[in-house]
Chains A and B, each alone.
Chain A
């Protein structure tokens, strides 16, 4: 009796296993992405669900393990596509085989947020001032450097509590890149990276950590991702751009910044949108990239096709989801350029249709 039961169970198990195996072959292609946490909200909540709904034969998974982790995944060929806020360095590209494509998917501006409840109009700042504050040269809100840019504003006699990210992040990479552009002192003393040796200030983990540091201290100042600041209703500073205009962080001002850089963008798009020319351009934003190998020969042809299809979809139909998640979509001209770049992808030398 037990014998019978046991063999029955065995048969049932085998049948179930066979069923799973058959289902998974019918299910076809799974592609794996990893990287940027910055892009994770729109990727996981909008792009992947919407794409999989319209492409039932493709399964996309994305692990927000950080841009650095994503780039390592691409170098080791363990993933099909990588999301990164920082472009790969030349040495990273050569260890990944020498030929990768950086495909900007959305832009993300950064804002300077502060906690000064007594001031109701947005404060005005410029790059040199921000750099001097982060270098510890300007330490009080009522110092002449700030007063000069904000005539008529009654600035409080308060210490500036400088907040920065404590975790390595693409946000810091873009922000420190901006400071390098606008301040020689910053460039020689600190430099640009995903995390740097901060001369002053306190670090908070992620956007929430920085926001908490700013919020708890009257006199706090820090940089936040635009989406986070807008959704949390944090006050943001008006920045003076390269041509001397006062610019609010907004979707049009970031698209204007893209337009300004698109003309002389390097062929591989590896350029953050920092301190661009253009009267209406907002000075601090960066692209977040989808990075794939130029030749997808390391994966099966079906996967290569699915990867290209997904990236193409993100760059076209997926763009309409950007606004609701407070990302900035690509400008029309920019998008054409990126799509032309995507068309160069091959699989073992053959074109992918």
Chain B
């Protein structure tokens, strides 16, 4: 598991949860062959591996049972943990669910002052969404470029070190990214990059100026850079996330591109294709795997907390300006949960957590559905 597309063939009840459980079910039924196919990953014909399995008497039988129990226990534990999280979140947010209900999704304001108590998740959903989108807009072309360079362009002596360096980015803890973002990237953005962007984009009027009459929602700013450079804004949040999703998308895309069959590549060259035409062929051939890589990157961007709150400005505004401050769902939890000191405030925090959890589950499920359509509906789940 882990890598999307690696899967046990369907046909067992537990196959949706873990490969281990699937194996366990087969063990239990005495099925002798487990097949692992790599279709989803490469789009190629099934690569089948067959394990002979011969039950014996004595200790091996007990070992089998132990493995079965362990695998089943793992599955049940996983389900129990997920269920428990949901129960706790719903229990914690019960008060807010009753008092705020659906208004949570239509309110932008977040005012935890006792007696005022106005809670809406809209600004934070927007913050999470826009920074994730920016991270993918910047990160996906960059990652694909690096992966193509490593697999198809770079001389052999350079591919290893480049790969290693990109993977090293994944090993940096997110608080280190946050501190770097706060003390290095953000001042640099404010003093160099953002003034340059500002100088160009400020003259481009995208929409007629308009503003929601209530509050600070600015869906239609005059341009994308309203407010001027600040270094603590959606752009900074998007850029720090770009760096963080880069190693994930690059590493998986690289591995997937390496699965492109040599005969196809040689065939393409034989027909007179240029390297770029061949690369496009490879990209199309591996699209399911690449999509999976992007989804994993997106999951990281949605859940990322510490690095984002160090640079995003931490305000509850909704603005289409890249230079406006914002806040993400995980960010508001990390910032305010510790001091949420009255019941409805605390309950609203649980509500945010619930929304975050459900939205990441929905993202995951829809990604899997999309993946199954891309890979041609071949035995996906």
Contact = CB atoms under 8 A, between A and B. Distances in A.
Interface of A: 65-69, 71, 86, 89, 91-92, 159, 161, 166-170, 190-198, 201-205, 209, 212-213, 216-217
24 contacts: A66-B339, A68-B338, A68-B339, A68-B340, A69-B338, A69-B339, A168-B336, A190-B113, A194-B112, A195-B336, A195-B339, A197-B112, A197-B118, A201-B315, A202-B232, A202-B313, A202-B315, A203-B313, A204-B314, A209-B182, A212-B183, A216-B183, A216-B186, A217-B231
Contacts of B338: 65-66, 68-69, 167-168
Given A193-B112, A197-B113, A212-B183, A205 B341 contact: no
A197 B110 contact: yes
B298 interface: no
Contacts of A66: 338-339
Interface of B: 109-116, 118, 182-183, 186-187, 190, 228, 230-232, 309-310, 313-316, 325, 327, 334-342
B339 A205 contact: no
Nearest to B340: A68
Contacts of B340: 68, 168
B341 A86 contact: yes
A203 B336 CA distance: 12
Nearest to A84: B341
A216 B339 contact: no
Given A204-B232, A212-B182, A217-B231, 15 more contacts: A67-B341, A68-B341, A89-B341, A167-B336, A168-B112, A168-B341, A170-B339, A192-B113, A194-B112, A196-B111, A197-B112, A197-B316, A202-B314, A216-B187, A216-B190
Given A194-B341, A197-B316, A216-B186, A166 B111 contact: no
A221 to B, nearest CB: 14
A251 to B, nearest CB: 27
B113 A161 contact: no
| Residue among A159, A170, A192, A213 with max Cβ neighbours from chain B (10 Å) | A213
A131 to B, nearest CB: 15
Contacts of A67: 339, 341
A203 B233 CA distance: 11
A166 B110 contact: no
Contacts of B186: 212, 216
A193 B114 contact: yes
A303 to B, nearest CB: 26
Contacts of B310: 205, 209
Given A89-B114, A197-B109, A205-B309, A169 B314 contact: no
Contact of B339 (A194, A209, A213): A194
Contacts of A190: 113
A270 B243 CA distance: 48
A89 B343 CA distance: 12
Which residue among A69, A167, A196 has the maximum number of chain B CB atoms within 10 Å of its CB? A167
Nearest to A201: B315
Nearest to B331: A166
Nearest to B233: A202
Contacts of A201: 315
B380 to A, nearest CB: 41
Contacts of A161: 230
A91 B344 CA distance: 13
Contacts of A69: 338-339
A66 B27 CA distance: 51
Given A161-B230, A168-B339, A205 B314 contact: yes
B341 to A, nearest CB: 4
A281 B315 CA distance: 33
B333 to A, nearest CB: 11
Nearest to B229: A217
Contacts of A91: 342
A190, A192, A203, A204 — most chain B CB neighbours (10 Å):
A203
Closest 3 CB pairs of A and B: A168-B339, A203-B314, A66-B338
B48 to A, nearest CB: 43
A67 to B, nearest CB: 6
A343 to B, nearest CB: 29
A65 B338 CA distance: 7
A202 B335 contact: no
Contacts of A203: 313-315, 325, 327, 335
A92 B116 CA distance: 17
A166 B308 CA distance: 12
Contacts of B231: 216-217
Nearest to A216: B187
A89 B115 CA distance: 12
Contacts of A196: 111-113
B183 A166 contact: no
A212 B236 CA distance: 15
Contacts of A191: 113, 115-116
A305 to B, nearest CB: 30
A204 B155 CA distance: 45
A166 B335 CA distance: 6
Contacts of A65: 338
A202 to B, nearest CB: 4
Contacts of A195: 112, 335-336, 339
A65 B316 CA distance: 24
A212 B113 CA distance: 26
A315 B293 CA distance: 58
Contact of B342 (A89, A192, A202, A216): A89
A223 to B, nearest CB: 15
Nearest to B231: A216
B232 to A, nearest CB: 5
B219 to A, nearest CB: 20
Contacts of A197: 109-113, 116, 118, 316
B220 to A, nearest CB: 21
A170 B325 CA distance: 23
Contacts of B113: 190-193, 196-197
A159 B230 CA distance: 11
Residue among A65, A191, A202 with max Cβ neighbours from chain B (10 Å): A202
B221 to A, nearest CB: 17
